Amino acid sequence: MSRILANWHQHIPSFRTILSISATLRIALIVYSEWHDARSTVKYTDIDYRVFSDAARFILHPTTEPDNTAKGPLVHALGWKIGDPYTRDTYRYTPLLALFLLPNEWVHPSFGKYLFATCDLLNGVLIYRLLVSTVLPSAPRFMRINSSEQKPSENETEHTVRSLNVAKVSPDSAKLSRASLLAATYLLNPLVFAISTRGSSESLLATLVLLTLTLALDSRWDTAALLLGISAHWKIYPVIYGLGCLGVISAQANHNSGWGWSYLKVLVNLRTIRFALFSAGTFIMLGAACYPVWGYPFLYEAYLYHLDRLDHRHNFSPYFYLIYLTYPTSANPDYNVPQSLWERLIRSPLTSLIPQLTLSLGTGLLFGRKARDLPFTWFVQTYTFVLFNRVCTSQYFLWYLLFAPLLAPHVRLSWRALLACIVVWAGTQGLWLAEAYRLEFLGENVFLSLWARSLLYVAGHTWVLGKIMDGYGEGAN
């Protein structure tokens, strides 16, 4: 056993091998999905992928009967023949996604799946490179291993090597092996490869976020701001990362490690203003480019819809039950309409933004002080954003799991604590899914008990976040 532990790095496949296995696995699943979907009523392909594909088809084939032309003012003024992706019900994304999937019509219907799987692999490469170049060298345990004060003498090393009959482990070899192992936790994660091969576009956004993080860790703030603006255009939630970046930029410019009013004053300076203008300007310019072509449907479906979205099913969030109890129906659209200002305030979808944004933005301001802490900062921001979001599905967990391999070297947890976190994190989801199955597939009236399990999900995931934050604090000392 001691020989295996001392020689652990030699048992880890190279990153190239892991990447090859990951690519083969994804190709096999995509090919299988075509075979499965042609023969089964229950499809492997996610319904979202059909929505994306239909949106691309609508752009490529505009019609007047029924009206499928883009609704933007420039299109009407110039008489362009461009289709409207928002003709497809439930397409609530940037039109750029539909444009990216036009090869679904030109090349192959599964082109988009291969694109998303490729982004998965690119994300694995970015994670691996960040681990090797930035994360592992700054990890406390790795720094102690390479510290001259902690190194054993040459005689002690030789004695250990002879007694275990193993070769010396060079720091670089150990670092590369550890980076490969951590990158594999993303590349070979069933949740990750299942979602991308089923046709979800989350991996594409993850690529934009990781590129932004890479640039930020390298202090290339202008380019990072541009990428952050593109990420927020793609899906609005990455805007929360801006506050963590502003804190790091401010600390680098002012060398202020304190807290309080003095820190808040130095938070606004020429560098932070420049970053904010670059990122906000990119977001606005992309929107300004899309609006003349696709008009108000673009603004509403891509952004405004999510402000008052009501989802009373398929939703981990405890908010679903209140939405269900007050949800208007076609037979009675005024059912349970609140009368007083207090009732309207409590039931407003915007009210749920208060705890969500307070935590996700507040943690960005609190922890965004050093560049090396950005993976941890973004992880906590995303975790709280997802946990307290009014709508939450399984694919939202990928938003923060993306940072887990980058966070792991800085978190010190015992095996028992780590196992407890995994059990609580997955177990609360499993309890919820078991009850949701009774509701969705068996048609049983289990709304109240499902709501109770939603509360348990929030409590359990909050406990897990607390353990990770405590472990990060210990690992950083």
pLDDT digits (tens, 9 = 90+) for 416-433: 999 999 999 999 999 999
Question: Are residues 203 and 120 in contact, defined by beta-carbon separation less than 8 angstroms?
Answer: yes
Question: Are residues 441 and 459 in contact, defined by beta-carbon separation less than 8 angstroms?
Answer: no
- The closest alpha carbon to 169, from 346, 5, 22, 398, belongs to 5
352 pLDDT tier (thresholds 50, 70, 90): confident
How long a stretch of residues is the chain? 477
pLDDT mean over 325-331: 62
Which amino acid, residue 317? S
Give the model's pLDDT for residue 9.
61
- Per mean pLDDT, which range of 8-17, 207-216, 283-292 is the poorest? 8-17
- Per mean pLDDT, which range of 143-152, 278-287, 400-409, 434-443 is the poorest? 143-152
Give the model's pLDDT for residue 260.
58
pLDDT mean over 321-342: 63
- The closest alpha carbon to 283, from 96, 77, 55, belongs to 96
Give the model's pLDDT for residue 153.
52
Q: How far is CA 307 from the centre of its chain?
A: 19
145 pLDDT tier (thresholds 50, 70, 90): very low
DSSP label of 80: -
pLDDT mean over 243-258: 79
- Going from the C-alpha of 460 to that of each of 210, 344, 420, 425, 464, the distances in angstroms are 27, 30, 10, 7, 6
- Going from the C-alpha of 70 to that of each of 85, 348, 358, 452, the distances in angstroms are 8, 32, 37, 44
Q: Give the CB-side neighbour count of residue 93, counting CA atoms within 13 A.
A: 25
- Per mean pLDDT, which range of 156-160, 241-245, 348-352, 459-463 is the poorest? 156-160
Give the model's pLDDT for residue 394.
87
pLDDT mean over 297-301: 94
Alpha-carbon distance of 38 to 47, in angstroms, equals 15
DSSP label of 151: P
Q: How far is CA 296 from the centre of its chain?
A: 27
Give the model's pLDDT for residue 334.
52
pTM: 0.88
Percentage above 70 pLDDT, the chain: 83
Place of tokens 């499993």: 430
For 6, the token pair is: 């001392």
Inform me whether the pLDDT recorded for 242 exceeds 70: yes
- Going from the C-alpha of 187 to that of each of 19, 20, 161, 192, 454, the distances in angstroms are 7, 10, 33, 7, 29
Q: Which residue has the higher pLDDT, 394 or 122?
A: 122
CB atoms within 10 A of CB 456: 16
Give the model's pLDDT for residue 149.
41
Inform me whether the pLDDT recorded for 410 exceeds 50: yes
The β-bridge partners of 69 are 83
For 107, the token pair is: 């090349």
- Per mean pLDDT, which range of 166-170, 228-232, 339-343 is the poorest? 166-170
Inform me whether the pLDDT recorded for 1 exceeds 80: no
- Per mean pLDDT, which range of 13-27, 61-75, 142-156, 444-458 is the poorest? 142-156
Which amino acid, residue 196? S
